[in-house]
Amino acid sequence: MTREGLPPGPRSALPQLLHMRDPFPYMRELATKYRSPVTVPLLGAPPIVLTWTPEGIRTIFGADPMSFGSAANEALSVILGSGSIFLQSGAAHRRTRKLLAPPFHGERMRAYAEIMLNAAERWSEKIPRDTVAPILPIAQGITLDVIVEAIFGEQDPARVAALHERILAVVAAFNPMIATFKLLQRELGGLGPWARFQARAKELHGVMLGLIEEKRSKPGDDVLSLLVAARDEDGSALSDREIIEQLLTFVIAGHETTATSLAWALYELHRAPDTLARLRAELAQADREGASAEALSKLPYLRAVVDETLRMHPPVPMITRKCVAPIELEGYSLPAGTYVAAGAYNAHCREETFPEPYAFRPERFVNKTFSPFEYLPYGGGHRRCLGAAFAGFELCVVLATLLRRAEFSLAEPKPVEHVFRIGTFGPATGVRLRRA
């Protein structure tokens, strides 16, 4: 029997406000108190109907793409631009996705393996010995190096450093408050956070425009060159603005999510000595066999460690869509305009699918696969993350390289909480490790 209206859920948005910094405990609480689906009230925004069963997630991911529009936070347009693939829907989203897909699959993606390996080796030398320090800045340095070289094709150390500086300046100047509240988007005579952010963004855009012109006259084997050369079926090219908006999406979303996942992997491994020992043994065997960077990404237990990390710490714990047509979800008839979400974190914590869900058990991924409605660290359906294969590949190569070149001990006396970062949730402490 189909029921009209929204399913039951909390009456107040106060719990969401209290858990805004780290929503993971609240999501566990929802799964404990309510059956899927549940209506989650939000402050200053329409409620979201959240599902975490395979059946409910299948409904969202398996629906006609035209049934949904992007529900990405409009605040993201401040830093990424309104034309970012994150914010597009319908035909525009399909067009952009088709143009952007080739660099992140097949042989072209695997060609970036040495870039990843070299970046990890360089940055591993910067980790201080016998000193407690967060590993997240090192992980960010590695992933940003990979982005700069693979996306922009930059190899000159001075130009790489300059791009690093401008990208990080934009990230540092981004403030969710000024992005969310238009009232704060005032120049104020060139002073204040909005003016500072605008200035940093303008500098980065200028550098990107210069690189686009360079690639038009002298293309290389990098993602920017492919974007410059990309053509629609009618032969039209991407505009400079479109290229910049997609580049910003790759840079901001790509390096941050991969860096935080790498930090979480090191955190979980160093809380589980037996798991770490098994992984080190696999890596030692690979060394004896002279494994290449690409071969590292195929090691079964290493891959399982990465998959289990993403299960426990999905970069985006809730994948949201806006219904542009009515939809039936787990017995509820929802009208057009309803926001629905696939709860990745809650789906990853279902006892029926993952026994002992709060324990770090990479073995569950060895010689076993899960459906895209049970395991969804990169989203799903027609909006599944374009860089999913690239990110998984990079995580394997970089994690293996760091563990082969250094030994660590964990310096976290308490469990590490999640904290919101641009586009993802990272470790609040940065994961403090001591290198032996």
In the structure encoding, which two tokens stand for residue 398, read together? 């970089």
- Domain map of the chain by residue range? 3-435
Report pLDDT for 74. Answer: 57
Would you state the pLDDT for residue 167? 86
Q: What are the Cα distances from residue 44, in Å, to 16, 17, 319, 414?
A: 11, 11, 19, 34
Phi-psi region of 194 (alpha: psi -120 to 50; beta: other; left: phi over 0): alpha
What residues pair up with 69 in beta bridges, in sequence order?
A: 322
Residue 79 sits at the vertex; the CA angle it makes with 196 and 378, to the nearest 5 degrees, is 145
> Do β-strands 418-421 and 408-410 pair in parallel, antiparallel, or remain unpaired?
unpaired
d(CA 263, CA 432): 9
**Amino acid 162: pLDDT:** 85
Please give the pLDDT value at position 182: 64
pLDDT in tens, 315-336: 999 999 989 889 999 999 999 9
Model pLDDT, residue 400: 97
pLDDT given at position 247:
85
Residue 435 has a pLDDT of 96
> In degrees rounded to 5, what are phi and psi of residue 408?
-130, 160
Give residue-wise pLDDT tens across range 150-197. 888 888 888 888 888 888 888 777 766 655 666 666 666 667 788 888
Cα 431 → chain centroid? 18
- Give me the residues of the chain with pLDDT under 70, please: 20, 70-83, 86-88, 102-103, 105-106, 175-190
So what's the pLDDT on residue 198? Answer: 81
Distance CA(87)–CA(74), nearest Å, equals 7
Write down the CATH number for the domain with range 3-435. 1.10.630.10
